[in-house]
């Protein structure tokens, strides 16, 4: 794809990438750009973790969870419910 207009025309709502060693991202013209931290060495203030992404018919929901949060209680309840639907 050459530009975000082509992605939006195809219904793309978010673009995900990773291994940046910190979380980053933004939204430009309706296209969500999400960069997830590496699970190993962190260069910023983010803790070790993973991004959980749930895709529904209407939306793309994503949230970064620290490994400690996942160990203590798992992912957020709203995401868990969406995955069970």
Long-range CB contacts (< 8 A, 24+ apart) of 57-65?
59/13, 60/13, 60/14, 60/32, 62/14, 62/16, 62/34, 64/23, 64/36, 64/37
**Domain assignments of the chain as residue spans, ordered by start:** 13-37+44-83
| Tens-place pLDDT, residues 2-42 | 677 888 899 899 999 988 889 999 998 889 999 998 888 88
pLDDT confidence of residue 33 = 93
The pTM score is: 0.81
């Amino acid at each position: 794809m050459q530009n975000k207009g082509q992605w939006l025309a195809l219904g793309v709502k978010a673009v995900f990438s990773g291994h940046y060693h910190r979380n980053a991202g933004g939204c430009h013209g309706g296209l969500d750009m999400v960069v997830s931290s590496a699970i190993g060495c962190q260069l910023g203030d983010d803790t070790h973790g993973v991004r959980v992404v749930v895709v529904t018919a209407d939306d793309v929901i994503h949230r970064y969870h620290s490994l400690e949060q996942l160990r203590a209680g798992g992912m957020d309840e709203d995401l868990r419910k969406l995955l069970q639907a």
